[in-house]
Amino acid sequence: MTARARTRALALADRAQKVPGAHLVVRIVRDIAVNDLTDRSMTLAAQAFTSVLPIVILLTALPSHDFIDTALTNLGIDPSRVDIPSATSPGSITAYGVIGALMTIAGATSLSRALGRMYVSIWQVTKVPLSSWWRWVVVIFALPLGVVLQGLSSGLHSITITGLTIAGYGAAGVALEIVATLVIWSGMWTLIPRLLVSSQVPVRLLALNGAVTGVFVTVLLVGSRIALPTILGETTRHFGTLGIVFVAISWLFFFCGIIVTCVIVVHSLTSDDGAVGQWLQRHLGTPRPFPVRRNETVDDLFGADSAPPAGR
């Protein structure tokens, strides 16, 4: 019975391989399986939780931060309920301290470096040198900027052409907000990998990755707007303040899972030897790693704590 089942399974697998596109689907599934999707997503989620929040707090310590308060309010976060010292007094920046701010920024770059290791490993390119440290800092401020832009765009949903709204939502405003969300996160996930891998990956390929990522991030954010208030209310009722942490980490896990999955899928599509992969390679290009210096080791190339590159 076992031998017969194995024979039938192999026969079905051979037939499946003959179906158009089956080889590409199998490659994508295999690449997702071997690239530690869960581990990478949880690592990035934890890094985001401990990196982005301190930067947002740092930004609220600036003298002019009304637009940040507006953005957070639009996202459903009441800044007045967050225990952050007011920055309207001259002593607020001093209280935070220049040294404290620099330490916060330096610690937050752990997220940038984790993202960089992920892109380097999946796209099989060279790790940028330490002299490009400024790229990590820019990424750390780019992510909160995306959150702020998202918050500011959340006010678009009230726009209406006919004058009819449902619970404050107009059809034209909702469409504008969705488009704005797509533009914000497509641009963000085109810019961030560009900073972290430099010119090793063509901009057109990065734009495809950014567009695909932006679509799924937009779906997540729209779904979050609908379902998250109920989930957060129930979790807070059962677990109190700890429930907010559970929801935040879970949401970040799904967010980072989208980031990692999109990179893996785009890499699989563009590196496949089939018709789709060849077409994408002609029109979008392929990653071209920088030359490796003689004194660089494999850990220097792909990052000491990175998983093996996709397809290896």
- Give 239-301 as a DSSP string: HTHHHHHHHHHHHHHHHHHHHHHHHHHHHHHHH-SSHHHHHHHHHH----PPPPPTT--HHHH
Spatial separation of the C-alpha atoms in residues 141 and 46, rounded to whole Å: 17
- 3-state DSSP of 93-152: HHHHCHHHHHHHHHHHHHHHHHHHHHHHHHHCCCCCCHHHHHHHHHHHHHHHHHHHHHHH
What is the overall mean pLDDT for the chain?
78
Amino acid at site 2: T
Query: In terms of DSSP H, where are the helices of 154-201?
Result: 171-197
- Overall pTM surpassing 0.95 (yes/no): no
State mean pLDDT over 257-275. 91
pLDDT tens, residue by residue, 156-211:
777 877 777 666 677 788 888 899 999 999 999 999 999 999 889 999 999 999 99
Indicate the burial class of 196 (C-beta count within 10 angstroms; 0-12, 13-18, 19 or more).
Answer: buried
pLDDT tens, residue by residue, 57-93:
666 666 555 555 565 555 555 555 444 444 444 455 5
Q: Coil, strand or helix: which one is 166?
A: strand
pLDDT at 243: 78
Spatial CB neighbours of 21, under 8 Å, sequence gap ≥ 6: 276
DSSP state of 307: P
Spatial separation of the C-alpha atoms in residues 247 and 234, rounded to whole Å: 10
